[in-house]
Amino acid sequence: MTQPWTIGIVGLGYVGLPLAQLFLEQGHTVYGIDTDQTKLSRLEQGTSYLADFSDQVIKELFQNGTFAVSSSYALLENVDAIILCVPTPLDTSGEPDLQYVRKALQSTLPHLQKGQLLVLESSTYPGTTEEEIAPQVKEKGWNIGQDIHVAYSPERINPGQSTYKLASIPKVVGGETPSCTKRAKGVYASVFDEVVEVSSSKVAEVSKLVENAQRLINISFMNEVAMLCDSLHVNIWEVIDACSTKPFGFTPYTPGPGVGGHCIPVDPLYLNWKANQQGMDLSLIQAAKSVNARMPRFVIEKVKAHLGVPLEQSNLLMLGVTYKKNVNDIRESPALQIFEHLLDVGANVSYHDPYVPSLTIDSSDYESRTITKEMLENQHGVLILTDHSCLPYQMILDHSALIVDTRNVLKGYENKNNVVLL
C-alpha cells in the first residue's frame, strides 16, 4: 500500500459513501461531511439509507476508528485531500443548478489548508472547476499547482449492480495544472486499479457528460423503435435479439418506460446547456430528450388498449417505482409520471416496491402494498415498470388478468397469454 491518506469527503450520498468505504478498506482515514442530520444519525446508529449498503456494512465502516462523520467542515483542516460529492440537479427551467457545489465550496474554503488537494466529483458542465472553483481558491492568495492542488474526477458509480466493483472502474482525473493531475492521481491510485490522466479538468468534465449523453441517445433510439414496432405489430425484443447475433457493429440497448435517475436524464442537458453558451445546439440530445418524454404516455396507451374496462374504472398495480432495478432511488423515475397520469384520469392506482416503503404523489401519501394472490386477482392490470430481482414474478404471472411488462423481465417464463410487451 502507498502512504496512508486522510481524506475528507463532502456529501455522503450514493457517490460519497461508497468512495469513503473504498478509502477505508485500503487503510486510509476518512472524515465524512454532510449537512443532512438524518444521514449522520443513521450512520452513527449503524443503519443504512442506501440500497447497496446493509446495516452491517455501515457498522463495519466505523470498526477501526478511522471513520468519523460530522456536519462541521472544520474537520477538513486535518485532511490531505477534500473530495466534493454533492448533487448537481437541474433547476425548474432545466438549466444547471450548482447551488450545492457552491454551498459546499463556500463552507470548505475557510478551512482549506496549503498543500491540500481539492477535487470535484459531481457531474457538471465543462468549465465548472476552472470557472467556479479555481478562482475562489486563488482569492486566498495561493498558486494552484504549488500551494494547493485542484482537480476534477467524474464519479462512475453504477448503483444496484455487482458486476463492476468500484475499485475496478478506471478513474479519470484532470487537474488545473500537471502537478494537480499528478497529486490527484497519487491519491486515487491508492484505491483504484487504474487511474486515467487527462490534460485538464475540462476534458474530464466533458468525458462524464458524453458517456451519459451517448447512453441517453441510444436508449431513446430503442424507445422510438419500440413505438414503431408497436405500430407494425412487431416484437421489439425479438428484433433486438436478432440484431444482437451480429458479432460486430451492433450494441444492444433495451427500451423501457423512460430513462430516469441522477445521471442519464440530467447530464446530457448540462452538456447541451454549455453548447448553447457556445452558440450551438446538440440536436441529438434534444431529440433524445423528446423521445424519452413520450414514453410514459406510450405505456399508458398500451395499458388502455388492453384493459377490459375504461381506465377511470380500473384497479391498477404498479410494480417498481424506482428509476432502475435493485435501488431505492426514485429521482426522475418515469414510474412517477405514469403514476400521476393514471391518477389524473381517475384510475385506482396502487404500487409495490420493496425498496420504497412509502411515496407521495400529488400531495397524497401511498404505501407499498404486499403482493398476495388475492390482491393480484383484484387488479384489472399490473404494470411492471422496474424489474427488481426480488419480485415474485411467477406468482404475478399466475394471478394477474393483464400484465404490461415494460422491461421484458418475464422473458423465459411460460404461459404468457396475459402479458403485453412494449
For the segment 213-261, what is each residue's pLDDT rounded down to a tens digit?
Answer: 999 999 999 999 999 999 999 999 999 999 999 999 999 999 999 999 9
Q: Which residues contact 264 (CB under 8 A, 6 or more apart)?
A: 212, 215, 216, 219
pLDDT at 162 over 80: no
Distance CA 94, CA 178 (A): 34
pLDDT above 60: residue 128: yes
Does the CA dihedral 394-298-330-260 come out positive or negative? positive
Geometric angle at alpha carbon 196, from 202 and 170, rounded to 5°: 110
Could you give phi then psi for residue 240, rounded to 5 degrees?
-65, -45
Identify the active-site residue in 85, 180, 263, 390. Answer: 263
CA 41 to chain CA mean position, Å = 24
Q: What whole-number distance in Å separates Cα of residue 75 and Cα of residue 11?
A: 14
Percent of the chain past pLDDT 70, that is, above it, reads 99
Closest CA to 124 of 147, 102, 146, 92: 102
Residue 383 pLDDT exceeds 80:
yes
Residue 31: per-residue pLDDT: 98
Give me the mean pLDDT over the 167-180 stretch.
98
The CATH code belonging to domain 6-199 is 3.40.50.720
CATH superfamily, domain 214-421, is: NAD(P)-binding Rossmann-like Domain (3.40.50.720)
| 380 pLDDT above the threshold of 70 | yes
% of the chain exceeding 90 in pLDDT: 95
Whether 220 and 292 have beta carbons less than 8 Å apart is answered as yes
pLDDT of residue 100: 98
263 belongs to the catalytic site: yes
Mean pLDDT score of the chain: 96
* Cell 465550496, residue located: 105
Average pLDDT over residues 331-354: 97
State the cell numbers at 386.
422496474
Produce one character per residue of 321-333: b if its CB has 16 or more CB atoms within 10 Å, e if not: bbbbbbbbbbbbb
Give the per-residue pLDDT at 2: 66
Q: Is the pLDDT of residue 1 over 80?
A: no
Which pLDDT value is given to residue 117?
Answer: 99
**All structural domains of the chain with their residue ranges:** 6-199, 214-421
pLDDT of residue 264: 93
6-199 against 214-421: fold identical: yes
Work out whether strand 171-175 and strand 195-197 pair parallel, antiparallel, or are unpaired: parallel
In this prediction, residue 3 carries a pLDDT of 79
Mean pLDDT, residues 12-39 taken together: 97
User: What was the pLDDT predicted at 94?
Assistant: 87
